[in-house]
Amino acid sequence: MLRGQRDAVHNKKPQIPDFLRVEPDADEKKYQKVRGELLDALKPTPDMMGKIQQNPDLLTGFEDPEVMAAVNDVAQNPQHMAKYRNNKKVQAFYAAMAGLMGQKLEGMGK
């Protein structure tokens, strides 16, 4: 897929001349739709925030600068998760978050 330069003035999506545009095929459209639905489904809700407040591993993690620095690091580069494999606080946080997200997705599938 062609990618153009970002419009520096308006910081909008890359500007690609119309004659070079390639419309996504059916698989790409399906991927984009599913990805959008998944991202929407995982957005925080009041119910999710209540569950976070009831989970000591998540509460502790959100308040711990070391854990939040690790989360930011991993968000920038998922391969950096390997750096934290022996950090029990970071592992507990991610395990609790994965459990919460798993419950949410399971509930959607019903």
Residues 68, 62 contacting (CB under 8 angstroms): yes
Q: Give tens-digit pLDDT for 49-65.
A: 899 899 998 999 999 99
Q: Which amino acid is at 27?
A: D
Q: Give tens-digit pLDDT for 8-59.
A: 555 566 677 877 777 888 888 888 888 888 888 888 889 888 998 999 989 9
Q: Would you state the pLDDT for residue 87?
A: 96
- Residue linked to tokens 């520096």: 8
